Amino acid sequence: MSRRLRIALKAAVWAVCLLPLGVLVYQFQSDDLGANPIDYITRTLGDWTLRILLASLALTPIRLLFNISWQMHLRRLLGLFACFYAWLHFAVWIVLDHFFDWGEMLDDILKRPYITVGVIAVALLVPLAATSTARAVKRLGGANWRRLHRLVYVISVLGVLHYLWLAKKGVNGPFIYAGILGVLLSIRWLDWCRRLVRRRQARLARSIPFA
Amino acid sequence: MLIQRAPDIRSSEITDVQVYLNRRSFLLGLAAMALAPPGLSTAMAAPSGQPLHAQRNAAFAVEDPPTKFKSVTTYNNFYEFSVDKEGPSRLAHMLKPRPWTVAVEGHIKHPKVYDIDELIQLFPLEERVYRLRCVEGWSMVIPWIGYPLASLVKRVEPTGQAKFVEFTTLFDPEQFPAQQKSIFNLAGLDWPYVEGLRLDEALHPLTLLTFGLYGQVLPNQNGAPVRIVVPWKYGFKSGKSIVRIRFVSDQPKTAWETAAPHEYGFYSNVNPNVDHPRWSQATERRIGEFRRRPTLVFNGYADQVASLYAGMDLKKNY
């Protein structure tokens, strides 16, 4: 892919990912956040965290299914935006929802499973964001870096659980996210199985050279 | 030569009369807002709805300032329309609150199917400003209009077998879109929505049979044409758009209790000391305020209602 195309693609991702935040700011200015603005902001940021996170996890399955790879250039950007929204979501909870009432928040973290998993997920995003630079990849070494970044699977499961456990009966959103995550992880898992079988066959072929 | 011919399509076929009228009232509302002095715009910029007159009963008015009319009528939990808060006000036009009847039946001496316009005139209407606490952790202050449910209960004369009162909300998928069978409604509630009170709770002077709010008839999204308001219990205990009031001897199986028995009990009294299994009930956000405020036992009505539950374990009977 040409350099110019790549830049255009990234600019488009920037625009799309910043749009929800822009809409929130606009709604804030025009006093259009509804009757319960803090709840609305929290939910909107949470929703976009999951959407962008799932988008970042969809890139590899797309490569596996359709054998195209230009989208892989967007992985870091999407990952960082997911982290950005997750931390905004978390910050709104701390500042607007609980207004720095640390005791109350700690109580919630310990006692409410949906908050526990949510806080773990945002915490786990930190090392991934911190090691997103090319220099960090070099310093860690490719293998270590990949191992560390497998945490994103844990994070995405925790993120979806967070929503599943907080949503009230009748709300379908969390099930949709769970379904999409299930499909995305299954594709990876099937690919992993396929590679395992291939490696075994290759080893078998090597050990019986003249069979 | 000018040949005049009636248009093929009449304008009333293009624009539904109701839509046309709604547009009228919308424009009138806008005009009213534009004309109202700025300071008055919050509580007063209300209602283009049908007025409903009532004397304020000062004995039942809380000090807290009422929640904005706009919030009261656009931030609603009314699952028959939609699970999100804005859905009910958007879809409210689908509900037809006239003609409407309410069947009052069961263990009473005078069962009767009341026409809504007869029911509303049985007793003098009064305005009462109550706190409303939702189980989700937010609250409002609303000037309701109605009369004590006790007046109706006494009129129909429950027999000795009547121990509970069951309230049933309208079931009609034509008017309540979320009642339509669909794969997206699978995880929801069983219809119709059923709520209930113990007879002594139904007789309590705070329990209001409600026909209006903010000086007008109930907007559809707030439970038109008639609903219950039980201010010391979580909001879902106050059934909306009631079509049947039945006096029974066994504790009714209520909608939320059936859907999630470990989360929602029959009593559901507001209680900061008993958490919802998934979240704390210690604080609440009053709609329109920034900081959370502490939730009060029985939503601040402990003086009036605590005696109803003397000797009961409120942690068990949540």
Asked which of A85-94, A152-161, B182-191 is least confident by mean pLDDT, the reply is B182-191
Higher pLDDT, B96 or B35: B96
Q: Do A113 and B68 touch (CB under 8 A)?
A: no
Cross-strand partners of B56: B127
Give yes or no for residue A176 having a pLDDT over 60: yes
- A76 and A149 in contact (C-beta within 8 Å)? no
Q: What is the 3-state secondary structure (H, E, C) of chain A?
A: CCHHHHHHHHHHHHHHHHHHHHHHHHHHHCCCCCCCHHHHHHHHHHHHHHHHHHHHHHHHHHHHHHCCCHHHHHHHHHHHHHHHHHHHHHHHHHHHHCCCCHHHHHHHHHHCHHHHHHHHHHHHHHHHHHCCCHHHHHHHCHHHHHHHHCHHHHHHHHHHHHHHHHCCCCCCHHHHHHHHHHHHHHHHHHHHHHHHHHHHHHHHHHHCCCC
Q: Do B85 and A171 touch (CB under 8 A)?
A: no
Integer Rg of chain B from CA: 21
Give yes or no for residue B20 having a pLDDT over 50: no
Residue with tokens 């220099």: A135
How far does the CA of residue A171 sit from the closest CA of chain B (Å)? 7
Assembly ipTM: 0.85
The architecture in CATH of the region B13-29+36-309 reads: Alpha-Beta Complex (3.90)
pLDDT at position B68 is: 95
Give yes or no for residue B280 having a pLDDT over 60: yes
Give yes or no for residue B7 having a pLDDT over 50: no
Higher pLDDT, B24 or A186: A186
> What's the mean pLDDT in A175-188?
96
**B260 interaction partners in chain A (CB closer than 8 Å):** 169
> What's the mean pLDDT in B246-267?
95
pLDDT at position B282 is: 94
- Nearest alpha carbon to residue A119 among A101, A130, A105, A129: A105
Reported pTM: 0.84
Candidates A34, A38, A165; nearest CB to B285: A38
pLDDT at position B41 is: 38
Q: Tell whether B280 lies on the interface with A, counting CB pairs under 8 A.
A: yes
% of chain B surpassing 70 pLDDT? 83
**A99 interaction partners in chain B (CB closer than 8 Å):** 290-292
Residue with tokens 């919030």: B71
Give yes or no for residue B63 having a pLDDT over 60: yes
* pLDDT, chain B, mean: 87
pLDDT at position A210 is: 60
**A103 interaction partners in chain B (CB closer than 8 Å):** none
pLDDT at position B36 is: 41
Q: How far apart are CA B136 and CA B120, in angstroms?
A: 31
Q: How far apart are CA B225 and CA B242, in angstroms?
A: 8
Positive or negative, the Cα torsion across B78, B83, B88, B89?
positive
pLDDT at position A209 is: 64
Q: Do A34 and B188 touch (CB under 8 A)?
A: no
% of chain A surpassing 70 pLDDT? 99
Give yes or no for residue B3 having a pLDDT over 60: no
3-state secondary structure of B258: helix
**A97 interaction partners in chain B (CB closer than 8 Å):** 292
- B164 and B251 in contact (C-beta within 8 Å)? yes
pLDDT at position B48 is: 66
> For chain A, which residues make up each domain, given as ranges?
3-207
Give yes or no for residue B43 having a pLDDT over 50: no
Candidates B68, B187, B290; nearest CB to A172: B187
Q: Tell whether B187 lies on the interface with A, counting CB pairs under 8 A.
A: yes
**Direct distance between the N- and C-terminal alpha carbons of chain B, in angstroms, rounded to an integer:** 82
> For chain B, which residues make up each domain, given as ranges?
13-29+36-309
Q: What is the DSSP letter of B163?
A: -
Give yes or no for residue B44 having a pLDDT over 90: no
Q: Tens digits of per-residue pLDDT, A88-126?
A: 999 999 999 999 999 999 999 999 999 999 999 999 999
Q: Do A170 and B283 touch (CB under 8 A)?
A: no
CB pairs under 8 A between A and B: 62
Give yes or no for residue B112 having a pLDDT over 90: yes
3-state secondary structure of B278: coil
CA angle (B106 as vertex; B105, B107 as ends), nearest 5: 125
pLDDT at position B120 is: 97
